[in-house]
Amino acid sequence: MKYTYYGHACFGIEVAGKHLLFDPFIRENELAKDIQIEDIQADYIFLSHGHFDHVADVVEIAKRTQATVVANFEIYTWLGKQGVDNAHPMNHGGSWRFDFGKVKMVNAIHSSELPDGSYGGNPAGFVFTTEEGNFYYAGDTALHMDMKLIPMTSGNLHFAILPIGDNFTMGIADAIIAADFVKCDRVIGVHYDTFGFIKIDQDKAKVLFAQHGKELILTDIGQTIEL
């Protein structure tokens, strides 16, 4: 699998020859100004919730790429009103088998309102089961006990993508516990440094993870890594 970071909580994963894009927020992210949004490939776009910093560029990218957008039912309905017809609605606890693997929508503790003020439904995370390995994207969330269900229901994770910026989501200390709950020692951090409220000390964060026998991967914006 290949992971490419586009800044904030936006990233791409290449698996089984498909391009999966998550929570697109690029044009309005000053830190991501060197990313060429027109060049981003997407066969699928996953939306964790309706907040602006997760959906800002979805309509543009979905219309250009004709990607299938996967989101909860309320966001699916909103996408239809924006002219994005190629979408797949899900809800919590449900799984669907796509051509690259299986996806389960799981709980997140956060809030969700779309940029135009419409109700965004409940925020979510996603667990992916693929032949190249399983992974979890938590979305914006607090630490919560339901994370313990993930290894019980979806098996071993190859890596977990967790928010670490604090204030709006988990911070470092809770993300380390979350990694324990999902039984995964390899964590990719997202949702940090974009705004004043979520600035972190990256070196200190990596040391704290290492002290708990875990790896925290923080990539540069635009960087691609093999996992």
Residues at the site binding Ni ion, with contacts judged by CB under 5 A: 51, 140
Q: Does 140 bind Mn ion (CB under 5 A)?
A: yes
Residue 174, binding choice from Ni ion, Mn ion, none, Cβ under 5 to 8 Å by partner class? none
Of the candidate spans 12-20, 32-40, 64-72, 138-146, the one that interacts with Mn ion by CB under 5 A turns out to be 138-146
CB of residue 165 to Ni ion, shortest distance in Å: 11
* Residue 23, binding choice from Mn ion, Ni ion, none, Cβ under 5 to 8 Å by partner class: none
For every residue of 133-163, DSSP letters joined together read EEEEE--S----GGGGHHHHHH---SEEEEE
Strand order in the sheet with 18-22: 87-90, 68-72, 44-46, 18-22, 11-15, 2-5, 224-226
Is residue 98 helix, strand or coil? strand
3-state SS, residue 60: helix
CB of 22 to Mn ion, least distance (A): 12
- Choice between 101 and 121, CB closer to Mn ion: 121
Q: How far is the CB of 170 from Mn ion (least distance, A)?
A: 12
Residue count (the chain):
227
Min dist. Cβ of residue 129 to Mn ion (A): 25
Check: CB of residue 217 under 8 Å from CB of residue 187. Answer: yes
> Least distance from C-beta 53 to Mn ion, angstroms?
4
The nearer residue to Ni ion, 57 or 140, going by C-beta atoms, is: 140
Q: Which is nearer to Ni ion, 140 or 166 (CB)?
A: 140
Annotate 198-226 with b (16+ C-beta within 10 A) or e (fewer).
Answer: bebeeeebbebbeeeebebbbeebeeeee
Which residue, 15 or 138, has its beta carbon nearer to Ni ion? 138
Nearer to Ni ion, 8 or 51 (CB): 51
Tokens representing 100 are 């690259």
Say which amino acid occupies 192: Y
Which among Mn ion, Ni ion, none contacts residue 104 (Cβ within 5 to 8 A by kind)?
Answer: none
Q: How far is the CB of 52 from Mn ion (least distance, A)?
A: 8
Q: Which of 170, 174, 137 is nearest to 154 (CA)?
A: 137
Q: Which of 5, 24, 44, 53 binds Mn ion (CB under 5 A)?
A: 53
Q: Which is nearer to Mn ion, 9 or 106 (CB)?
A: 9
* 29 within 8 A of 217, measured Cβ to Cβ: no
Q: Residues interacting with Mn ion, by CB under 5 A? A: 51, 53, 140
